[in-house]
Structure 1
């Protein structure tokens, strides 16, 4: 958020949480004005919380003026353990190979062994 009329020293961010049981907004399930009550309440007495944080202009400059600043209060689990990911990939690849072979066999059978 930016304020008119004075130099920007800090930029406030607020991560709007999804309602319980909802993973995203879309055309058929849009955000509703009532869902901004938390932001309205926070705006009057801004302070850092699990959904709100501020970043100094100096930090923005150091980030190459990138305004896409991650919420420091949320846990970044990252992609996971490389060994576990590789194991999962290999298992999925085995399943894909087996399915492809089944499909090939069914097609050959249906087409008379061609």
Structure 2
């Protein structure tokens, strides 16, 4: 995410004095709630959905995720790269390519 976007999220939270409510547990709940609102966009159809609504709900997930990163002092690139290393080990190309099976079923 661009630094300008991150700073805007932080300013939004700071201007409203909302950091006091941003405990890791509250942020995790908020991420889950917003992810479920994103899922609701596809409740009755996998192919017919309102892209603008999808974008709004996805943005909410991303904003709360950035708030969680800040609260826990985490770097998004660091944690994603670490997880990708683990995923690459669990899902080697030669076994996982074209398969939706879970790693322990490959």
Per the shorter chain, which TM-score range? under 0.3
Q: TM-score with structure 1 length normalisation?
A: 0.26
| Structure (1/2) with the larger strand percentage | 1
Q: TM-score with structure 2 length normalisation?
A: 0.27
| Structure (1/2) with the larger helix percentage | 2
